[in-house]
Amino acid sequence: MMRTLTCSVVLLPAYLFAQSLVSTTPQQRTALLEEFTAINCGNCPAAHGVANTLAGAYPDDLVIVGVHGGGLAVPSGTQVDLRTTDGAALWTQLGVSFQPQGTVNRQVVQQANGWSNAIATVLAQTSPVNLGMATTFDPDTRELTVDVELYYAADGTGDADRISVLLTQDHIVGYQQDYVNGAHPNYDHRHVLRDHITPLIGDEVVTTTSGTLVQRTYTFTVPEAWVVDDLDAVAFVAEQGGPVHQVRHVDATGGATTGIPHSERMYGTGSAFPVPANDLVTIPLDPAVMMDGTFVLRDVAGRVVMQLRMPQGAAQLVLPVGGVEAGVYLYGVEGFPARVLTVAH
């Protein structure tokens, strides 16, 4: 499995389209729950239930990573092996001695009954840095590209921060011990850590002063045995050896997030359909917004792919994308936040 990265640190005005992946307005922290678990841990399914309930309560603000490790994660016979080298190193780094346990934003390792309060405490805090991300996947080469943007809305709280990018997988079916309901031969394992794309220590960010935009690109070759449609890319930024500031996750097969809260969004357009688009895509136009501006379609790097004047009085825009390469794009009216469009052929 090959990993590469490129990076840039730039100071840019807030209105540039290149920042469509990330807001420049100070935001609340989001929560990362790293759940330490194992297939032969009979108390772990109850903790999985707690984690999944919390995910339902905070669908936009909580990311879960299931880290299988310890002696109870060692498979026997035909049991599925969900251990990873990075997971084992993380257990050691955070001092995890048994499961089920978890840590919220790399702070205190605790049992499941403490996760809810820890998450609520994190979500009430303001983050000095905002994070946005987007992915593209080439099915021929199985190369996954993850673009990450940070914007420091305030000065960082330490000397340096670190960006971590990893992959999780849903719906891995295999054995799970359960002391309450009996062992499950075909358990649906969720949020399973597959690999860290960055080193476990993360990718260093030295410049963390207010107004700094950081852009990084990471690539990873996805093993054939992994079901790519069940993969999520996760990115988070944290102080070196300290707490997590922000975390996001998107589909590995062409997902993106603007990082902008719904309360701040006024797009000027509706959501495109069908998604993914193949030949023609229809984009509803918002009658509450003056449609005399310029419509722009850009790739996730900010390059203009298509540009046209908005049609006067039209209720929708039909856009030909048959000649556009498959991937993730950002579209919208200049002066408004962008929406995400996936093109597949």
How far lies 332's CA from each of 263, 268, 270, 295, 336, in Å? 17, 7, 9, 6, 7
Please tell me whether residues 286 and 168 are part of one structural domain: no
| Residue 51 and residue 183 share a domain | yes
Where is the domain boundary, 218, 239, 262? Answer: 262
Q: How far apart are CA 55 and CA 33, in angstroms?
A: 10
Give tens-digit pLDDT for 59-75: 889 999 999 999 999 99
171 plus 132 within the same structural domain: yes
How much is the pTM?
A: 0.72
Tell me the per-residue pLDDT of 8-65, one tens digit each, with 9 for 90 and over. 444 333 333 345 688 888 899 999 999 999 999 999 999 999 998 888 888 889 999 9
End-to-end, the C-alpha distance of the chain in Å comes to 26
| Whether residues 227 and 288 fall in one domain | no
Two tokens, residue 133: 């991300």
Cα separation, 245 vs 235, whole angstroms: 11
Encoded tokens for 302: 């900010």
Shared domain for 73 and 105, answered yes or no, is yes
Q: Which of 254, 216, 221 is nearest to 236 (CA)?
A: 216
The Cα 56–Cα 33 span in angstroms is: 13
User: Do 221 and 27 meet the contact criterion of CB atoms below 8 Å apart?
Assistant: no
With beta carbons less than 8 A apart as the criterion, state whether 273 and 282 touch: yes
Looking at the structure, do residues 258 and 283 belong to the same domain, yes or no?
no
Give, for all 345 residues of the chain, the pLDDT tens digit: 555 554 444 433 333 334 568 888 889 999 999 999 999 999 999 999 999 888 888 888 999 999 999 999 999 999 999 999 999 999 999 999 999 999 999 999 999 988 988 998 999 899 999 999 999 999 999 999 999 999 999 999 888 999 999 999 999 999 999 999 999 999 999 999 999 999 999 999 999 999 999 999 999 999 999 999 999 999 999 998 889 999 999 999 988 875 444 434 455 677 788 877 888 988 887 665 555 678 888 876 667 899 888 777 777 888 899 889 887 777 888 767 666 777 887
Count of domains for the chain: 2
Q: Put residue 21 in one of left, alpha, beta given phi > 0 → left and psi -120 to 50 → alpha.
A: alpha
Single out the residue in 210, 233, 262 at which a domain terminates. 262
Q: Which domain holds residue 29?
A: 3-262
- Asked if 236 and 325 sit in the same domain, the reply is no
Burial call 256-281: b when 16+ CB within 10 Å, e when fewer: bbbbbeeeeeebbbeebeeebbeeeb
161 and 255, same domain (yes or no) = yes
Can you tell me the distance from the alpha carbon of 216 to that of 13, in angstroms, rounded to the nearest whole number?
Answer: 18
Domain harbouring 167, CATH code: 2.60.40.10
Q: From CA 233, how far away is CA 243, in angstroms rounded?
A: 20
The answer to whether residues 154 and 274 belong to one domain is no
Same-domain check for residues 174 and 284: no
Q: Do residues 257 and 271 share a domain? A: no
Torsion of CA 99, 104, 106, 107, to 10 degrees: -100
Does 160 share its domain with 212?
Answer: yes
Residue of 283, 279, 277 whose CA lies nearest to 323: 279
Parallel, antiparallel, or unpaired for β 256-257 and 280-284?
unpaired
What does the alpha-carbon distance between residue 216 and residue 273 come to, in Å, rounded to a whole number? 30
Q: What is the pLDDT of residues 263-290, one digit of tens each?
A: 344 556 777 888 778 889 888 876 655 5
Domain end marker among 231, 262, 293: 262
